[in-house]
């Protein structure tokens, strides 16, 4: 099988990986770099559990080939913690406000939320619902997720004022 070298930056670290030409970005992250916080679900772009940031924009990593990330920056759930692995305010909000139950969908929702709040720090509930509509959760009924995003937005606004 044809292989290619992919050079990319993942969570701030430069990586060079030899992958089959058809390797998915989700496979590179999980299988080659052992970053298993990015989940593998439908692998057809429906569920969003594989969401990561590619150059700051959310992408479903099961829909991208690893070679498409060559020369680019990828951030995964492992890369959004603060110094000393302190929880990101979004992670904290999801934990404390019913944003997760089994947690399988959570990395994807957190990465999507991080991208939303970077672009729009004060989204309306309608904007949050629209932005998150591409990811699925079988457990929470979404109410806790929406509340968690709102709490995280307020917490991050507070941090910026300090």
Of 27 and 158, which has the nearer Cβ to ligand FES?
27
User: With CB under 6 A, what is the number of residues at the site for ligand FES?
Assistant: 22
Q: Does residue 140 belong to the site contacting ligand FES (CB under 6 A)? A: yes
Taking each helix axis as running N to C, give the angle between helix 143-161 and helix 89-96, from 0 to 180 degrees, rounded to the nearest 10. Answer: 140
Site track 83-102 with ligand FES (rule: CB under 6 A), x = hit: -----------------xxx
In DSSP terms, 65 is beta-bridged to: 24
Interacting stretch for ligand FES, rule CB under 6 A, among 45-53, 67-75, 77-85, 113-121?
A: 45-53
Judge whether 44 and 57 are in contact, CB under 8 Å.
no
Cα 155 to Cα 32, 94, 97, 137: the distances in Å are 35, 12, 13, 24
How far apart, in Å, do the first and last CA atoms of the chain sit?
54
Q: Does residue 9 belong to the site contacting ligand FES (CB under 6 A)? A: no
Q: Does residue 48 belong to the site contacting ligand FES (CB under 6 A)? A: yes
Torsion of CA 30, 33, 34, 37, to 10 degrees: -60
Interacting stretch for ligand FES, rule CB under 6 A, among 3-11, 87-95, 119-127, 137-145?
A: 137-145
Give me the least distance between CB of 113 and ligand FES, in Å please: 13
Contact positions toward ligand FES, by CB under 6 A?
A: 40-43, 45-50, 60, 62, 100-105, 137-140
């Amino acid at each position: 099988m044809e292989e290619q070298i992919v050079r990319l930056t993942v969570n701030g670290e430069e990586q060079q990986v030899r992958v089959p030409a058809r390797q998915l970005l989700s496979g590179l992250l999980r299988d080659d770099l052992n970053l298993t916080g990015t989940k593998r679900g439908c692998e057809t772009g429906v569920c969003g559990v594989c969401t990561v940031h590619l150059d700051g924009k959310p992408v479903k990593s099961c829909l991208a080939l690893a070679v498409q990330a060559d020369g680019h920056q990828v951030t995964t759930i492992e890369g959004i913690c603060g110094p000393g692995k302190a929880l990101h305010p979004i992670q904290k909000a999801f934990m404390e406000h019913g944003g997760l139950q089994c947690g399988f969908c959570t990395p994807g929702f957190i990465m999507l939320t991080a991208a939303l709040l970077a672009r729009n720090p004060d989204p309306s509930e309608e904007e949050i619902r629209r932005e998150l509509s591409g990811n699925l959760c079988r457990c929470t009924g979404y109410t806790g997720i929406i509340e968690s995003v709102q709490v995280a937005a307020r917490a991050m606004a507070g941090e910026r004022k300090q």
